[in-house]
Amino acid sequence: MAQMVTGQLGAEGPYWDALAEGRLLLPRCKGCGQWHWPAVWRCGECGSWEHEWHERTLEGTIFTWTRTHHRFGGTEGLDLPYTTVLVTLNDAPIRLQGLMEGREDDLKIGARVTGRIDKTRFGDAAILSLRWSLA
Amino acid sequence: MTLNLSGKTAIAGVGYRQYKRGTAPWPERGVLVRAIVDACEDAGIDPADVDGFVSYGDDKNEPVRLMPDLGTKQLNWSAQVWGGGGGGIAGTFGIAASAILTGQAKAVVIFRALAEGNSGRLAAAVMAHHLNDHMVGVGLVAPAQVCAMRAQRLFEYHGVPQSVCEEMVRASYYHGSRNPEAISYGKELDVEAFRTSRWIAEPFRLFDCSRENDGAGALLMVSSEMARDLKRPPVKLLSVAQGAQKGWGDLLENDDADLYPTAGFRGIRDRLYGMAGLTPADIDVIQLYENFSAQGVASLIDHGFCTYENVAEVLKYENLIAPSGKLPINTSGGNLAHGFVHGFVTAVESIRCLRGESHNPVPDAKTCLLAGGPGAPTVSSAIFGID
């Protein structure tokens, strides 16, 4: 089981629970259909407090990326350099962060990627996070 | 009734002390007290008469703790702009002016103090304000990395040539090399070293990133009426705006796609210029908060000085340096070349350049834009002017 390090940020509890089960769940307002990320308790568009969590596939395109070379404190669990990407999902208007794995030779904005769920070591904790590779 | 605060308050005193990171001769509060007294002596008022304090960026020096050193007779106002980064720097002037113009305080010090021995590394403190498992899990733990992702989008998708960053950094170093107070005094930018310095987080190399210094800055604000009777020529606050627009903020990188590569100022730009009744063409000199080179460029675009299309024509080294350039920026060297006490030097130089005290004077400058911390969830900017 992954450990929360910084505590739950907002209303995204079901996201972490689902990742721990190997699934990606994301929230959509039952009132107006708006997808929300970060997750919210109240939909700021229609005022609804009801949200449905939908399973989505880990497929998308690169929105942007950075390759980190400097050893910042707190990244000791990752080998340098490592590449962090922001991925626009194919089946929800939401961007999720992740780490690249595999080849990066034609990594660029717009490139198609597929993902999986893994954990990142952070001190004594292991944080659930996504891994993406070029499709 | 809407009160336009334009021109009704002024900065009457300046204090700024800067040291190499980790070498402040006193603990943080000791440096701050000296900077505040410097500002009061500059203005010619008794530090005991300062009755208000405003800061930003999670400053740890609660004003009430300054009272014994300053001899404060009465603390009437203390406030801080939200946000862990430099986004709140210019918003402090709006808070101070609001207090003064509503009679809640008479003499307000705007300050920021940092000493690594007390507050640790600034980058870590800023990030602690924002960190969550989403980011830590993907290795994002520093402001440089988040800004790098936005810079990558700015360059790769929106077509802004990365070479404009070099032009901007060179201009800052040109000014810094002529400023005896600057950390880069006597040293212009070594362009080859800039281009080949080690990677931090692509597309940023070492010299794309601001330094960190120990130090403290204090600016004393009073009503324009009161400022007339003090020692120094008043520099008036013409305009200030802070905030964020819908689709921008602390959104797990889910900002609106067109806002994502910006520095966040589109949402405050119209209020900023509108309050002063000015346009970008009326700005004589810019003090540009650049935490990272690309964010400085994005800020200049947001503030209306250039566009994605003409950025390379406008942001040319020759155009950015005083006294000859049309768009002089960071006349003291700015965060990159003067020094970085959470950006406060950009506020200090905003006043000094209009007083004619800059080491790189801009002839006949009447207006100065302080473009606050870029890329922060809450951003702010201010315009200063002299009669």
Length of chain B: 387
Residues of chain B with confidence (pLDDT) below 70: 1, 127
Is residue B289 within 8 Å of B347, Cβ to Cβ?
Answer: no
CB-nearest to B145 from A4, A66, A99 is A66
Q: Report all structural domains of chain A as residue ranges with CATH numbers, in order of start.
A: 10-55 (no CATH), 57-135 (2.40.50)
Q: Which residues on B lie below 8 Å from A120 (Cβ)?
A: 136-139
Is residue B32 within 8 Å of B61, Cβ to Cβ?
Answer: yes
**pLDDT of amino acid B47:** 98
Is residue A53 within 8 Å of A25, Cβ to Cβ?
Answer: yes
CA angle B256, B258, B261 (to 5 degrees): 95
Binary contact (A129, B251; C-beta < 8 A) = no
- Integer Cα distance of B3 and B34 in angstroms: 35
**pLDDT of amino acid A122:** 85
Does the CB of A127 have a partner CB in chain B at under 8 Å? yes
Q: Establish how many alpha carbons lie within 13 A of residue A105's alpha carbon, considering only the half-sphere containing its beta carbon.
A: 1
**pLDDT of amino acid B123:** 74
Please report, for residues A94, A135, B286, the alpha-carbon distance to residue A59 in angstroms, rounded to integers and kept in the order given. 12, 9, 44
CA B152 to chain centre: 23
**pLDDT of amino acid A7:** 67
**pLDDT of amino acid A1:** 44
Cβ within 8 Å of residue B328, ≥6 positions away: B171, B284, B285, B286, B320, B321, B322, B360, B362
Query: How many other CB atoms sit within 10 Å of the CB of residue B25?
Result: 11
CB-nearest to B136 from A16, A65, A127 is A127
Query: How many other CB atoms sit within 10 Å of the CB of residue A53?
Result: 18
Binary contact (B136, A95; C-beta < 8 A) = no
pLDDT band at A10, cuts 50/70/90?
confident
- Report residue B112: phi and psi, to 5°: -155, 135
Q: How far is B199 from chain A (nearest CA, A)?
A: 6
Q: Establish how many alpha carbons lie within 13 A of residue B178's alpha carbon, considering only the half-sphere containing its beta carbon.
A: 16
Token pair in block for residue A83:
């590449």
- Integer Cα distance of B286 and B303 in angstroms: 10
**pLDDT of amino acid B131:** 80
pLDDT in tens, A15-62: 999 999 999 999 999 999 999 999 999 999 999 999 999 999 999 999
Cβ within 8 Å of residue A7, ≥6 positions away: none
Is residue B284 within 8 Å of B326, Cβ to Cβ?
Answer: no
Question: Which one-letter DSSP state was computed for residue A30?
Answer: T
Closest C-alpha among B10, B301, B341 to residue B155: B301
| Interface mutation vs chain A, best among B145, B156, B254, B292, most A CBs within 10 Å | B254
Is residue B367 within 8 Å of B217, Cβ to Cβ?
Answer: no
Cβ within 8 Å of residue B166, ≥6 positions away: B191, B194, B195, B293
Q: How far is B79 from chain A (nearest CA, A)?
A: 26
Length of chain A: 135
Closest C-alpha among A72, A6, A14, A66 to residue A38: A14
Q: Establish how many alpha carbons lie within 13 A of residue B22's alpha carbon, considering only the half-sphere containing its beta carbon.
A: 2
pLDDT at residue A74 is higher than 90: no
DSSP string spanning A45-88? TT----EEEEE--SEEEEEEEEEE-S--TT-TTSPSSEEEEEEE
Binary contact (A67, B132; C-beta < 8 A) = no
CA angle B155, B159, B161 (to 5 degrees): 65
In this prediction the ipTM stands at 0.96
Residue extents of the structural domains in chain B? 9-120+208-385
Find out whether the peptide bond into A81 is cis, omega within 30 degrees of 0.
yes
Token pair in block for residue A72:
């910042």
When the candidates are 3.90.730.10, 3.10.580.10, 1.10.1060.10, 3.40.47.10, the CATH number that belongs to B9-120+208-385 is 3.40.47.10
Token pair in block for residue B332:
């003291």
Is residue A83 within 8 Å of A67, Cβ to Cβ?
Answer: yes
Q: Percent of chain A, pLDDT > 70?
A: 93
Is residue A109 within 8 Å of B156, Cβ to Cβ?
Answer: yes
Beta pairing, strands A95-100 & A82-89? antiparallel
Entry pTM: 0.96
**pLDDT of amino acid B105:** 98
Closest C-alpha among B327, B361, B330 to residue B348: B330
Binary contact (B142, A72; C-beta < 8 A) = yes
**pLDDT of amino acid B121:** 79
